[in-house]
Amino acid sequence: MTQPLVEIRNLSRIFRRDSVEVVALKDINLDIPEGDFLALMGPSGSGKTTLLNIIAGLDKPTSGVVRVGGIEVQRMNEDELAEWRNHHVGFVFQTFNLIPVLTAFENVELPLLLTGLSGQERREHVLTALKLVGLADRVDHYPRQLSGGQEQRVAIARAIVTDPTIILADEPTGNLDARSAEEILTLLQQLNEQLHKTIILVTHDPRAAHYAKHERHLEKGVLLPPGVTYTVEERA
């Protein structure tokens, strides 16, 4: 069996504020193979975002190990992490987080400014990414001139423009209406099936299960075994 792309071993994250301790993640073990599309589900406060942030190197675990592509994420220093993220991680947020003063094109171009690509090469990459998300005709629009669904598609284009190893999406449909949400989920599915991108999707959305290959649930910082869903009352 080949090595999984993401290996999580005995991962815990405890937040300490003043004298209060919050155990956000408790002894998580998880393998995610390359090419997987995993839906990570769970009630609010169960630790989904925290787990995603640690995988992306945006936050450090209190204990345990995260390896992505064989590299121990928490071992890297700030600068190494920044470069690693630029090359290997595409992040999609619930609130889109586009830069309001930049056009769709420029927002997607942003991560490429850190690479050695020429202006012409950057342009080609950006247009390819925007075409992929179906926004080739919106390149010069500013975020405020786009619908929520379109904004999120620009954000996805920004996440894939550097051709990352893994795409991490934190409730990308949370701020969208049902139709736009389905479009986004379909788009992620295409990226997974056609471009073989590994995707971790954090969501509350039960529809997500129809799009992802696997589904895992978190509850109060504990990763439930495969097939076990979190308790229904909290889901309502």
Ligand X SMILES: Nc1ncnc2c1ncn2[C@@H]1O[C@H](COP(=O)(O)OP(=O)(O)OP(=O)(O)O)[C@@H](O)[C@H]1O
What residues make contact with Mg ion under the rule CB under 5 A?
A: 49
CB of 217 to other proteins, least distance (A): 22
Binding interface with other proteins (CB under 8 A)? 50, 53, 56, 58-59, 78-79, 82-83, 85-87, 89, 91, 93, 97, 99-102, 105-106, 109-111, 113-114, 158, 162
Q: Which of residues 3-42 bind ligand X (CB under 6 A)?
A: 15, 17, 22, 24, 42
Strand 6-17's sheet: what is its strand order?
Answer: 20-32, 6-17, 63-68, 71-72
Taking a C-beta distance cutoff of 8 angstroms, is the pair 38, 213 a contact?
yes
Answer positive or negative: Cα dihedral of 140, 142, 145, 149: positive
Q: Give least dist CB 203 to ligand X, A.
A: 9
Binding-site member from 4, 46, 89, 173 for ligand X (CB under 6 A): 46
DSSP-assigned states of every residue in 175-234: TS-HHHHHHHHHHHHHHHHHS--EEEEEES-TTHHHHSSEEEEEETTEEPPTTPPPPHHH
Q: Which of 2, 44, 77, 194 binds ligand X (CB under 6 A)?
A: 44
d(CA 100, CA 102): 6
Place of tokens 């649930």: 217
| Residues in CB range of 233: below 8 A, 6 or more apart | none
* Pairing state between β 6-17 and 89-92: unpaired
Q: Is 60 in the site for ligand X (CB under 6 A)?
A: no
Find the shortest distance in angstroms from Cβ 4 to other proteins: 23
Under the criterion CB under 6 A, does residue 45 sit at the interface with ligand X? yes
Where in 67-126 is the site for ligand X (CB under 6 A)? none
- The count of chain residues that interact with ligand X, using the rule CB under 6 A, is 12
Count of CA atoms in the C-beta half-sphere (13 A) of 103: 12
Based on CB atoms, which residue is closest to Mg ion, 13 or 138?
13
Q: CB of residue 134 vs ligand X: minimum separation in angstroms? A: 28
Residue 106, binding choice from Mg ion, ligand X, other proteins, none, Cβ under 5 to 8 Å by partner class: other proteins
- In the bound state with ligand X, the residue whose beta carbon lies nearer, of 49 and 107, is 49
Can you give the binding site for ligand X, defined by CB under 6 A?
A: 15, 17, 22, 24, 42, 44-50
